[in-house]
Amino acid sequence: MYSKIGRRVRIADAFHSHVQTRAYKDQLIGREDVIVAVLRTGKVALVELDDDGSPFPAGVRRWSFCWDDLHKETKTNPPQRRAVEYRAGFTWKGRQAVQHAVPPEKTVALCGQTTRPLPVCEWSLTFSATVDRACLTCVQLAKTAAESNEESDTLAS
């Protein structure tokens, strides 16, 4: 089931999908984007738009679609490699939660702390370096990793 994550799909329809997705079907149908999560015990795909999502409310980039509304395995070239998105993992100091950057499918943060994710509908929150309680070590290590990733992309082109 999770082997579908990362595959490119073409949005063919929104007939079987959630009503909020159907409300924007005219802008979504025909797009070719990437599956980033499988939700509801495999019945729904979370599809992330390749662009910034500006025509949608609040710049929404991830939309849930029923599998019947998607054409899988399109033959287009994938977009340029994107930086690793770290999940948010949490540790607690008293009553205060500290947010850490955790690589996908791991429980140990970049700083070495063992963390617990905060799952939401079978996916986890994305790490944000701008929150007040972000681990400063994780922020710096994530920034360094992103910069080295950008350098390797420019050397490859």
* Phi and psi, residue 78, nearest 5°: -70, 155
Whether 128 contacts 88, CB under 8 Å: yes
User: Is the confidence at residue 86, as pLDDT, over 50?
Assistant: yes
Q: What is the pLDDT of residue 157?
A: 46
Q: How confident is the model at residue 140 (pLDDT cuts 50, 70, 90)?
A: very high
2-72: CATH, from 2.30.30, 3.30.70, 1.20.58, 3.30.870 = 2.30.30
Q: What is the pLDDT of residue 155?
A: 44
Residue 42 CB neighbours (<10 A)? 12
CA distance 67 to 38: 10
Q: Give the pLDDT mean for 23-34.
A: 89
Q: What is the pLDDT of residue 84?
A: 66
- For the chain, the structural domain boundaries read 2-72, 87-156
Tokens linked to 127:
């790490």
Q: How confident is the model at residue 66 (pLDDT cuts 50, 70, 90)?
A: very high
Q: 3-7, 71-75, 131-135, 140-144 — which is least confidently predicted?
A: 71-75
Q: What is the pLDDT of residue 156?
A: 47
CA distance 147 to 154: 11
For every residue of 18-82, which 3-state class applies, written as one string?
A: CHHHHCCHHHHCCCEEEEEEEEHHHCEEEEECCCCCCCCHHHCCEEEEEHHHEEECCCCCCCCCC
User: Is the confidence at residue 83, as pLDDT, over 90?
Assistant: no
Tokens linked to 89:
């993992």
Q: Where is pLDDT greater, at 83 or 123? A: 123
User: Is the confidence at residue 82, as pLDDT, over 70?
Assistant: no
